A = this chain, B = another copy of it.
């Protein structure tokens, strides 16, 4: 029971998905929150709580979860919720230009997350992976061979160019919500595409240091050891389907 919490999060209860990026900010902020759909059904939880939130009156209507409610504020879109929370809890610098830089990186991470999702849903978003497996193989081939390495090399270059970052922060000299999200993306990509990830990880010493640093934050490690944490699974964005992780060990496949 956390009904007195200042924040209510609405997200599908059976997968980490885009909700997990919001949870990591809330957990690192030490902000109590009510993860509404994770409550027992008899206590208002379940997917129905998410559906009801999408059509509820009051405030700006969201099109899709995650949705964060705080008093009269009702926000959607993962990067937007993360940025808004981070500004309230010291997880992004105060300066407007620095915040725009953080948002630039967060939106680029969101693009990578969307592409990782589309590997298993390339052509029909509202239907199962099983009805689009051949298209998924074609999408995933360019994802693991070209897009995944391109994005990760980009973030590594950003981290290496950040002279203040102690080799472990993407922006500035201290932890931001972008680091928390990067950590989750790195875990998700390694879970879903272990072979493709292994092929590029040697080029990413900065991102590996970032991931280890975030993993070791006391609040994050306590959260991930708690029953609040939802592990990756094959209903989420990052799914381990070996047929979509088919990289050629000698280089790009023909």
Contacts and interface: CB of A to CB of B under 8 A. Distances in A.
Interface of A: 60-63, 73, 75-77, 79-80, 83-84, 87, 96-97, 100-101, 103-105, 107-108, 114, 118, 122-127, 132, 135, 138-139, 142, 146-147, 150-151, 154, 157-158, 161, 171
A151 B63 CA distance: 8
B80 A158 contact: no
B104 A80 contact: yes
B138 A126 contact: no
A124 B115 CA distance: 11
Contact of A161 (B61, B83, B127, B150): B61
Contacts of A158: 60-61
Given A61-B157, A101-B60, A123-B122, A108 B142 contact: no
Given A73-B97, A122-B122, 4 more contacts: A80-B103, A84-B100, A107-B107, A135-B135
A63 B122 contact: no
Contacts of A73: 97, 100
A101 B122 contact: no
B107 A79 contact: yes
Nearest to A162: B60
A124 B142 contact: yes
B147 A135 contact: no
A123 B135 contact: yes
16 contacts: A60-B171, A63-B108, A75-B100, A77-B103, A77-B104, A80-B104, A80-B107, A87-B96, A107-B107, A114-B114, A118-B118, A122-B123, A123-B135, A123-B138, A127-B142, A132-B138
A127 B83 CA distance: 34
B123 A100 contact: no
A139 B83 CA distance: 32
A83 B132 CA distance: 36
Nearest to A137: B123
Contacts of A76: 104, 108
B139 A122 contact: yes
